[in-house]
Structure 1
Amino acid sequence: MFYSSEAQLESNQEAINVFYTSHLTKSYLDTPAGKLFYAYAIPDNAATAVVISTGRVEGLEKYKELIWELYCNNFAVFIMDHQGQGRSYRHLKNKHKGFVKHYNNYSSDLNNFDQQIVSKHWQGKKVMLAHSMGSAIAIDYLAKFENSYKGVFLSAPMFDIFTKDVPKIPTQFIVKLATLLGLHSFYAFGQGNYNPIPFTENVLTSSEERYTYFRQTYKLEPNIQLGGVTFGWLAATIAFLKSIDKLNVPIPLFIASAASDTVVNNEAQYSLAKRHAHATIESFEDAKHELLFERDEIRKPLLTNFYQFCESVTS
């Protein structure tokens, strides 16, 4: 397998950009609520397709390195920007505000993408690769919609969130009160517009190279920037996460847990894994939340596990 490395990330940018421009088909999927941005690439010798469900704030541009890498390894790749982020439609006048009405809006979008785009261009075996919030969306979709996925690989899945200095119960009360007062579109306390904090203060990755490219990409493309979450997003998220224990995904799951994660609560990952007999969970030491954008010594073993998982569920 080919693995993209931090040391060669700068020198590989030309090849990545050529791939993005010449080999990646990009377009919009029309929905009653707005347009969803998506892209796909299918190498000639592809045997398996990978459908990517990204995390909150993320979108196609952030995943260029990974998509290129998967393509070089003969995987067909499909990716969609979730509503409210990336190049997909935004709900509110202030486009920095993270908002969604209901979580099933996300999973319904994923179903439409799978039916109208993925299935149109790919009829072979496929697996899902999901990160953080995208993992919650993937679980909801796979449990509720008819599909033909062979397995799902979950990177630092958001099955519960940290409420930092405020205990969970008071947080839920504040969010419920705010929504009852009609403050759905207001930023939650401590949230604001996009703010690129320095690498030394970030909680996402310990790879300075990948973090720098991520921030440079968002600086060059202001229209894909996204800020903090609203009370509406928190209300929808809390409501969904309360129901996640009732969902059953009847296909193999691999849960990659970041041992040093301070964004999501890892205990919920182990709880979900225990409820699924066909689930595997592995912790990656010293890893922060964004496993797919971590240092090579973390990211390479992660992707090795992903490739082995793909082989095991599609052979």
Structure 2
Amino acid sequence: MIRPLVETPANPAPPGTRVHSLGLRDGKELRYAITPASAQPQQGTVIILHGRNECIEKYFETMRDIAARGFTAATFDWRGQGASSRLLRNAAKGHVRSFDDYAADFEQLFESVLLPDCRAPFYILAHSTGALAALLAAPALSNRIRRMVLIAPLLDINGSRMRKTTVRLAASTLRYTGLGPAYMLGGPHRIRSFNLNEVTTDATRYARNCEILEQATDLAIGGPTASWIFAAAKAVKQISKPEFIEKIRIPLLIIAAGADTVVSTRAIEWYTLQLRNATLLTIDGARHEILQEKDFYRKQFFAAFDAFIPGTGSETL
């Protein structure tokens, strides 16, 4: 049964949004939603890829922003989070076996639903974990996605080299000793007070997002498991190989948050330099979740978005 969209007074669903479920090849279910364009001319479809521990409801505002620009907005809950199939008996754990599963799920949704049902051309707007999954899928999408905007992509966690090395070694050890489903970097989900949050400086949007999870606790997940951390590190290593980077032909706009304490901005800068078709913009003062930030930062983001998408239309598709 499809989990209905959760609306609150502060967070109504965009007009015309419909929610469905897609059966995946391995028997899991993916919940997805599509919002029709609310302005003319219609310019194609923007596919929104979430970060870790996010859900469709958190992107209602962004979906309205996209629709108002003449695009269809399509998005979905990754496997293991939101209202898509969970992967462990303890459904609260943030778990995945491999980021290849994320890429495969997206490709199946694209082929089965978006390509036949949504207007071309197609664009990707991806945040953090979603941006890493988008990069992993990019070589296979070269002739189908016109442009991609990646916000604060997960290319490394923030922190000292010793801390990052310790986390990776611990995740690898736990996974290979059969403890991959064990929590790492956190435990069961709990809502932090605004003063302790690391993702936004906007108290109103933060409260709005917390209200969603207070009303629908089943949409939230806790900290990542050792398997999730291991899978993320493996995906980063894969997309960083020169032969993989050479296969990324889709034009990219990469946007970093100047005050990000979640992912490494230095890693984002390094990665952008390896690409031949990427531009980097850093929004000074913004925290990790730029789309959940104050209007001052969101306006900077959308100014860059509008300058990049839809683009000239001269890309090879």
What is the TM-score with the length of structure 1 in the denominator? 0.90
Please state if 1:35 is matched with 2:34: no
Task: After TM superposition, list the pairs within 5 Å mapping 1:64-103 onto structure 2.
Answer: 64-103=60-99
Question: Among residues 203, 212, 220, which one is paired with 1:208 in the alignment?
Answer: 203
Q: 1:47-73 CA deviation, whole Å, 9 max, x = no partner?
A: 221001110001101001111221122
Cα distance in 2 for residues equivalent to 1:293 and 1:78: 18
Which of 270-279 and 58-67 deviates more? 270-279
Q: Is the 8 A contact 2:157 2:164 kept in 1?
A: no
Which of 33-42 and 172-181 deviates more? 172-181
Please state if 1:63 is matched with 2:81: no
Which of 25-34 and 100-109 deviates more? 25-34
Q: Secondary structure of the equivalent of 2:263?
A: coil
Cα distance in 2 for residues equivalent to 1:33 and 1:166: 40
One-letter identity of the residue aligned with 1:86: G
Q: Where in structure 1 are there 5+ consecutive unaligned residues? A: 1-12
Q: Secondary structure of the equivalent of 1:255?
A: strand
Give, in angstroms, the shift of residue 113 of structure 1: 0.9
One-letter identity of the residue aligned with 2:253: F
Please state if 1:104 is matched with 2:103: no
Give, in angstroms, the shift of residue 307 of structure 1: 1.4
Please state if 1:267 is matched with 2:260: no
Q: Is the 8 A contact 2:99 2:133 kept in 1?
A: yes
Give, in angstroms, the shift of residue 194 of structure 1: 0.7
What is the TM-score with the length of structure 2 in the denominator? 0.90
Pick closer, same or farther for the CA change 1:213–1:254 going to 2, 3 Å. same
Tell me which residue corresponds to 1:47. Answer: 43
Question: Among residues 13, 17, 24, which one is paired with 2:17 in the alignment?
Answer: 24
Q: Is the 8 A contact 1:207 1:293 kept in 2?
A: yes
Q: 1:181-221 CA deviation, whole Å, 9 max, x = no partner?
A: 11011112x41111100001100000111101000111111
Cα distance in 2 for residues equivalent to 1:177 and 1:277: 36
Q: Secondary structure of the equivalent of 1:304?
A: helix
Q: Where in structure 2 are there 5+ consecutive unaligned residues? A: 1-7
Q: Secondary structure of the equivalent of 1:130?
A: strand
Cα distance in 2 for residues equivalent to 1:253 and 1:287: 20
Pick closer, same or farther for the CA change 1:275–1:166 going to 2, 3 Å. closer
The percentage of aligned residue pairs carrying the same residue is: 27
When the two chains are superposed, the root-mean-square deviation of aligned CA atoms in Å is 1.8
Tell me which residue corresponds to 1:7. Answer: none
Give, in angstroms, the shift of residue 239 of structure 1: 1.2
Tell me which residue corresponds to 1:293. Answer: 292
Q: Is the 8 A contact 1:185 1:230 kept in 2?
A: yes
Q: Secondary structure of the equivalent of 1:152?
A: strand
Cα distance in 1 for residues equivalent to 2:11 and 2:234: 39
Give, in angstroms, the shift of residue 163 of structure 1: 5.1
Cα distance in 2 for residues equivalent to 1:95 and 1:254: 34
Pick closer, same or farther for the CA change 1:281–1:209 going to 2, 3 Å. same
Please state if 1:311 is matched with 2:310: yes
Please state if 1:217 is matched with 2:217: no
Count of residue pairs the alignment pairs up:
300
One-letter identity of the residue aligned with 1:282: L
Q: Secondary structure of the equivalent of 2:310?
A: helix
Q: Is the 8 A contact 2:10 2:208 kept in 1?
A: no
Q: Is the 8 A contact 1:150 1:313 kept in 2?
A: no
Pick closer, same or farther for the CA change 1:201–1:14 going to 2, 3 Å. closer
One-letter identity of the residue aligned with 1:263: V
Give, in angstroms, the shift of residue 311 of structure 1: 3.2
One-letter identity of the residue aligned with 2:134: A
Q: Secondary structure of the equivalent of 1:129?
A: strand
